[in-house]
A and B are shown apart, each in its own frame.
Chain A
């Protein structure tokens, strides 16, 4: 079923791509120059998405030249106000952002938020995975959730910084189990390396992070994956949370935003650029090579998703005690 659906989507994408390639519209340059604002340091996920957009747009001749600015810090909330104040009304500027920023705006209580920029498109997502050390007693997700339900404090779980997506995933799970999100014994580590080390060394009983962080350790049999958090399966033979009876879908999505105060026509031009870009073979090739999941969404659908994501995130963060 899912294979068939994927083939159809791929075929449709292929068709539109060929149509776009052969038509005169695609060869046309849409923007002579584009300013890309990355509210994170070079080398991370947001930077990667920005550079991928540059690479595919250049290859398809959609944009003449690119200019990048990286202003990192505090989940993007250091860079966000700078983009909002410096690029207001500019139709030739985009900012990269995503799920991390939604949480950071809430926990850091910054006055400038995603409400101050113009949503253009969600491009990719990365589901999370719940893992245990290879020699753990937890064989299935049910073993793990039973232990959590019985005594959440006794199950130390490692992941990224407090209030991040990993922590929110745990909070949602505890809530479904009839527990308070605050009861969880969540150990925050600075970055994927130290968290992985703590799980491999069985310092914590389980870990939550993005699939790509743990994929190689799972493949090598040093960690066991219990469930992934996406709509569909991300790892062979590992069920999703929803399949395991927990109605949670969460992922580290990344997308593109326009400057505040741009006109409807400017917004449409940016949306059209992303739609064309998304259909190019170059883009699909990059998405596949980077191991990203395609999560393309524009217009009203993206805005609805964003509103729901913000509401859900705020609710969980309030349960954990990180939002007032």
Chain B
């Protein structure tokens, strides 16, 4: 009941004209920066921090949350249309989304992403309001050992994107692991594979690699093919989702939201793991006809699930920030410093000392969600018609766009050299049928798994049994084992029954 009265008060505050204005501005800005690779919500909010000197706390946080949610929407648009993920949470969306766009189904892909984001954002925001404090206490019980086991589970599910040839898929995966090793090792402070280049000390940016692999690699590959005389015109196709699309999207939205929210709440969860797990789950759970579309013409389940997971995770990140004052992502860390410049100390006491602000914030998250879907749905037709641009011009545009966005990450020429270097590698990978998605997955999961494993081993004083003596860690490892062996054993059993 306390929650409901709090929410009612929050909506009362959020639905004033000024606050709606801030929400609209935030959503608009957020969508715009989500579209550009490199310009993430963290950087944008950091640049807007000076406005906290002249705007009320409520107004500023409504603006920041609009930017945060909006960036998740914008990121998926470019993933689908241009195969250029704007931020790390929408990398998985590009896998099926870009294939759908190529096959004349850009409209339904964009619509399912937008509605899925809305559904998951709403589920996530409800989660903040009703479950937040409980979930975060549970999440704190997870230590490095559990995180390592979770990443083992993710590695197992990666097999779904390895493609037809295991050798090619694993080669790609190891290339990703190699890229992930670059930079200063967190546990020992030693530089690895940096070759004396200071720009490499902080590692290679994962969004840069995604843009290089997906956008630059594809563009170069296309230019190469084009020179051989083959050109194709892409159909735009129907814009709205068909009845079948709705049916196929509904459960992926729900499952994605259910996966994403708890990962967002976990202090070391993030949006990458749940999007991968959601993709794997949808691929396994899809009907046989739909399974044929995965990796070929693009399956709508593969867009709906990960997009929902991404947005629910984004909502989840706000839980530890609001209930414990724990910043678990770069964006949350900067929002915390904004709280501090108002003299508000976010922490375990925030819900009691600043109840009005917190509930207004939660209410405005609902408002932002509605606003984003209203802003984005009518634009789907407009966005999709980008594909009518003749291919040479379209791809030239993508290249310019990718270059500007990458330079924006750190104003560094080294990053541009990396972008085109990895892009050329990706061009050859496409030419010789190596899948590019495992590179990204190796690069994200590799360093996370390594750090979690070494943290766990430092804590246990080098005792490897820590991974199986902690019950949660053991349970996750068992699930991973089932995911690895289950389908094979089931298949063997079916064959035996048939025989």
Contact = CB atoms under 8 A, between A and B. Distances in A.
A153 B337 CA distance: 35
B348 A163 contact: no
A42 B39 CA distance: 13
B140 interface: yes
Given A41-B46, A153-B461, A197-B326, A162 B198 contact: no
B199 A73 contact: yes
Interface residues of B, number: 54
Given A197-B320, A216-B347, A185 B461 contact: yes
Interface in B155-198: 184-191, 198
Contacts of B267: 193-194, 196-198
Contacts of B484: none
Interface in A79-94: 81
Contacts of B455: 187-189
A182 to B, nearest CB: 11
A105 to B, nearest CB: 11
A19 interface: no
Contacts of B184: 74, 107-108, 161
Interface string A43-75: 100011001000000000000000000011110
B349 A220 contact: yes
A320 to B, nearest CB: 8
B196 to A, nearest CB: 9
Interface in B445-463: 451, 455, 458-459, 461
Contacts of B142: 201
B201 A77 contact: yes
A2 B340 CA distance: 27
B201 A78 contact: yes
B38 to A, nearest CB: 13
A185 B460 CA distance: 10
Contacts of B198: 73-74, 77-78, 81, 108, 110
A199 to B, nearest CB: 10
B425 interface: no
A145 interface: no
Contacts of A34: none
B229 interface: no
A99 B412 CA distance: 25
Interface string B396-414: 0000000000000011100
Contacts of B329: 193
Interface string B117-146: 000000000000000000000011111100
Interface in B268-321: 268, 320
Given A187-B455, A193-B320, A197-B326, A73 B189 contact: no
Interface string B333-356: 110010011010111110000000
A204 interface: yes
A162 B202 CA distance: 14
Interface in B240-288: 267-268
Nearest to B348: A220
B343 A219 contact: no
Given A203-B143, A222-B348, A190 B201 contact: no
Interface residues of A, number: 49
A194 B328 contact: yes
A100 interface: no
Given A78-B202, A163-B189, A198 B143 contact: yes
A191 interface: yes
A41 B202 contact: no
A107 B343 CA distance: 36
Contact of B410 (A71, A107, A186, A322): A71
A291 B334 CA distance: 17
Contact of A203 (B42, B144, B337): B144
A107 B186 CA distance: 12
Of the candidates B187, B189, B327, the one having the most CB atoms from chain A within 10 angstroms of its own CB is B189
Interface in A12-46: 41-43
Contact of B188 (A51, A162, A185): A162
A43 B42 contact: yes
Nearest to B338: A43
B50 interface: yes
B459 A204 contact: yes
Nearest to A156: B459
Contacts of B341: 289-290
A225 interface: no
A200 interface: yes
B191 A185 contact: no
Contacts of A162: 185-189
A54 B196 CA distance: 34
A9 interface: no
Interface string A177-189: 0000000011111
26 contacts: A41-B46, A42-B43, A43-B333, A47-B46, A73-B199, A78-B199, A78-B202, A81-B198, A156-B458, A185-B461, A188-B187, A193-B267, A193-B333, A197-B140, A197-B268, A197-B328, A203-B143, A203-B144, A203-B459, A216-B347, A216-B348, A217-B324, A217-B348, A220-B349, A222-B324, A222-B348
Interface of A: 41-43, 47-48, 51, 71-74, 77-78, 81, 107-108, 110, 153-154, 156, 161-163, 185-194, 196-198, 200-201, 203-204, 215-217, 219-220, 222, 289-291, 322
Given A193-B333, A194-B267, A219-B349, 13 more contacts: A42-B46, A42-B49, A43-B337, A71-B412, A74-B202, A107-B189, A108-B184, A185-B459, A187-B144, A200-B140, A217-B324, A220-B347, A290-B340
Q: Which 8 pairs between the two chains have the least Cβ-Cβ distance?
A: A216-B347, A197-B267, A43-B46, A74-B201, A203-B143, A163-B189, A201-B140, A162-B189
